[in-house]
Structures are given as structure tokens and as C-alpha cells.
Amino acid sequence: MVRLSSTITQESAAAPVVFLTGAARRVGAETARVFHAAGFRVVIHYRSSEQDAIALVDELNRARPDTAACIQSRLDTQATIQAAADDAIAVFGQIDVLINNASSFFPTPWGDITDDAIHALMHSNLLLPMAMIQALASELKHREGTIINLVDIHALRPLADHPAYGAAKAGLISLTKSAALDLAPRVRANAIAPGAILLPEQEGDDYEAALTGNVPLARMGNPTDIAEAALFLATAPYVTGQILAVDGGRTLKQ
């Protein structure tokens, strides 16, 4: 599905385009808003959050007509990923920034790691970004574009009972650096490693207190912190192959 008004103004047609996976809600949605406010046109991918995606696109198009759209895809095979990449390019005729935001997160304690869990975590956190970069590599080279991957500080320091998730995100760090090397000089690739930004939706105040107790800045971050870091990386022309921790200093502590 593509939702977009039919008329694109000359002014809006000159703006760069950012494509975000898994961006109907939470950090992805805020990143879309921050890029849009900075003058980008925005293509938002969603899997099942159709109402949220449509509401976000309508919100952005009210602010600046004909500058936001959404596409739906399961992104579960090479074919669906390539189709989504093609659809994203077709919306505005270009992609300048790819943000691999889609992710799954859940524990896999040793002894309970199943094939399904491995597939879900490895696919969304590593294989999907790899396939999406491959699908858009030619376009990004043509546009001298930028890749931003969302990793995790727990790719750098493991989170208890999450070995499969941590391994997938660690692989995404390696993938980011490979893309920066292999696609240079026409494409830059960087990653953001968030710390405590949003609580899992099932957690409450006790969980938040435990998280912030180990953060030097003594507070949770928020989605805007990640979005503004992404905007910096998208517009910093001499930065590539870097992993930017946005964690309030959490990785400074043992």
C-alpha cells in the first residue's frame, strides 16, 4: 500500500527522501517526524500497524503537503524486501537515506533457544537490513546516499538471557562497517546504538529504576534523542563506519 496525495509541488520534489523500516510507531515514528521537520520527504514502512502509519503520514502531509507516504510489507523474504525497496523508490522517484529501524526483541535464555526464535531475531535484526541494503545499494550509490542502522548497546555488552538478540545486533555492527567499506566512496554507512530509550511495553516503574540506576545521566533517553542522532549521521558528510552510542553514558560503567 502507498498512501500519498496525487500532486507533488516543485518545492517538495527537490527535497531528499528518507526511507525508514518499521516506522509507524515509537522510535521510528519520531525519527520520521524529525527528518520531515528538517525538510526531508519521508517514506514509512510498516508491517501491521496500518492505522498508526496512516495517521503519521496524514500528520506529516498536513504540515507539508505531498511529502510523506507509507508502504506495507512483511519483509520476510528476499522477494518481499526487493519489492518494498522498489515501491519505496517509486513513491518519490529516489531514496537518499535508508534507516533500518525494524527490529524484534525478546529473551532467549540458554536451553530455551528455538529455531523459530533464532529465525525471528536474526532475520529482523541482521538479515533484513543486509537484504535491504543490497536491494537499495544501486539507488544509494546513484544518489550518493546514506545508510543508518539501529543496533544496540547490548551488541557491545551482552544483556543477560538475550544471546540471540545480542548476536544479531553484533552482526549488524559488522554489517554496517562492511557497507561503509564496500560502498564507499559514494555511500556512507553508520549505526546508532541506543541505550535505555523506551521501556518494553509490558514493563513498568521498577524496570525503569533498574535501568536508570546504571546510567551516568541518571535518566531514560527518549525517541527524539535517537532521531536527532540519525539526522546528524545523515547530514555529516565525513562520517562513515561509525557506531554512535546514544545511551546517557551507560557504556562507560562496568
Residues marked as catalytic: 165
Give DSSP secondary structure letters for 215-233.
Answer: -TT-S---HHHHHHHHHHH
Distances (CA, A) of 171 to 2, 12, 235: 31, 37, 25
Q: Is the peptide bond before 185 cis (omega within 30 degrees of 0)?
A: yes
Q: Report residue 94 as a C-alpha cell.
A: 529516489
Q: Report residue 130 as a C-alpha cell.
A: 543486509
Cβ-contact 103, 22 below 8 angstroms: yes
H helix runs in the chain, sequence order: 10-13, 26-37, 50-63, 78-92, 115-122, 128-143, 163-182, 205-212, 223-234
**Distance between CA 152 and CA 162 in Å, rounded?**
12
Q: Which helix (H) or strand (E) segment is 246 a member of?
A: strand 243-246
